[in-house]
Amino acid sequence: MSVPTWIDAWTLEDGAARVRARFAEVFDGEPDGVWSAPGRVNLIGEHTDYNGGLALPIALPHRTYVALRSRPDDVVRLVSGQEQGSREVDLSTVAPGTVEGWPSYVAGLAWALRQAGYAVSGFDAVVDSCVPYGSGLSSSAALESAFAVALDAVHGLGLAGTADAPDDAGRAVLADACVRAENEIAGAPTGGMDQAASLRARAGHALLLDCLDGSVRQEPFDLAAHDLALLVVDTKAEHSHATGEYGVRRASCEAAAVRLGVGTLREITPELLPQALERLADGSAEGDVQVRRVRHVVTEIARVVDFVAELEAGRPGGVGALMDASHVSLRDDYEVTCRELDLTVETARAAGAIGARMTGGGFGGSAIALVEASAVEHVAGAVADAFATAGLHAPAFLVATPAAPAS
């Protein structure tokens, strides 16, 4: 039996101490402060955000930490605990395509805040993270969101509120800036669920996000009270949304919406779905692809509604079939799973999971399994064994509990 590797979350104190100490070392002196923001897992509602749909993420205890000191000029100097050396960006030159790699998310955010009319200057910053990178757990949104609350604080923008009394409307503005940074400067055409989760989720709750109007509802989410647990499996199959297939999926949905004469696919209710699919199926290969993409989006939005109904009825254990159906839809209709994700889901189910599905954008990344609390080790061991037998990289595991947003 393989021994599962667990991805530990740093404590807030440890994360802050790491970036603070490194800051003193490389930038001489103290930062103005330390901020942090969580990664996320999405419980259900995948590839619905850019279609005006519903999603249900939780914030993870795994966070990205930033020690930052404002500068009077436009220079941004960045140091990461995950690499050697430093990066420098001149904020006055930031535009689509001008910044490479992870600094594009940070400089892009400062750029987006300026575009929105907020006076933001340069800064020196050290960043470090226990959100696994490239694992579909929103390391990029955690990075953007940590800088969003940092810049909000040092420039007194008054958007984030306090840790005890977060300002949701202001955080929605910060989330929009993060999305612009990601779409326009980092070049990843993502939807907005991840930034909303990192900035607007609440500890102990799942965030019901309505991407049509940006409204949110906090749904109490306490699996432990039901002797359940949410096991997250980082399959180590790397993915990136700045390249290729994610954008192709999004373009296909947008083209289908145009053909159907709707603003977003949210307007296609389950009742309207059969006739919409009939219209899209024009005998062409692209028509056939759009049929499957739209069927996923519409049924997935309906599954979010049903999932929330189970939670509100006090039956979190009743969502297993919805998770399984979500995975099948993402595998067969949306075609965003991969061998590692499918193997994880099949193995977890066979080992007794109540439900399992990929989470996030797919093409690699992570899957989640709802399990009896007493079965966490057993299911994780079964998945680790299955990967070893298949000759795949060893996956890593964590147990997700809904944690606090950026602060």
193 forms part of the interface with ligand GAF (CB under 6 A): yes
Nearest distance in Å: CB 143, ligand GAF: 13
Which segment (41-49, 145-153, 262-270, 319-327) binds ligand GAF by CB under 6 A?
41-49
Q: How far apart are CA 365 and CA 337, in angstroms?
A: 9
Note the residue count of the chain.
Answer: 407
Binding test (CB under 6 A) with ligand GAF, winner from 38, 361, 364, 402: 361
15 forms part of the interface with ligand GAF (CB under 6 A): no
Q: Name the DSSP letter for residue 161.
A: B
Nearest distance in Å: CB 300, ligand GAF: 9
Binding test (CB under 6 A) with ligand GAF, winner from 39, 108, 132, 360: 360
The interaxial angle of helices 103-115 and 168-180, nearest 10 deg, is: 120
Please, which residues bridge with residue 366 across strands?
234, 359
Residues 206-265 close enough to bind ligand GAF by CB under 6 A:
241
Binding test (CB under 6 A) with ligand GAF, winner from 49, 124, 128, 219: 49
296 forms part of the interface with ligand GAF (CB under 6 A): no
Nearer to ligand GAF, 2 or 299 (CB): 299
Nearest distance in Å: CB 182, ligand GAF: 8
166 forms part of the interface with ligand GAF (CB under 6 A): no
194 forms part of the interface with ligand GAF (CB under 6 A): yes
C-alpha distances in Å from residue 226, one per residue of 349, 373, 374, 375: 19, 9, 11, 13
Nearer to ligand GAF, 31 or 361 (CB): 361
Binding test (CB under 6 A) with ligand GAF, winner from 4, 122, 191, 320: 191
H runs (alpha helix) in 160-226:
168-180, 193-200
Q: Tell me whether strands 54-55 and 228-234 are parallel, antiparallel or unpaired.
A: unpaired
Nearer to ligand GAF, 43 or 127 (CB): 43
Residues annotated as catalytic (active site), given as ranges? 194
Which segment (40-48, 159-167, 265-273, 399-407) binds ligand GAF by CB under 6 A?
40-48
Nearer to ligand GAF, 181 or 384 (CB): 181
Q: How far apart are CA 132 and CA 135, in angstroms?
A: 6
Q: How far apart are CA 385 and CA 378, in angstroms?
A: 10
Q: How many CA atoms does the CB half-sphere of 312 hold within 13 Å?
A: 10
Find all residues with CB under 8 Å of 268, minimum gap 6, and list them: 260, 262, 276, 294, 297, 298
324: amino acid identity, one letter: D
47 forms part of the interface with ligand GAF (CB under 6 A): yes
Which segment (11-19, 90-98, 187-195, 228-236) binds ligand GAF by CB under 6 A?
187-195
The interaxial angle of helices 193-200 and 168-180, nearest 10 deg, is: 140
Contacts with ligand GAF, residue ranges (CB under 6 A): 42, 46-47, 49-50, 190-194, 241, 360-361
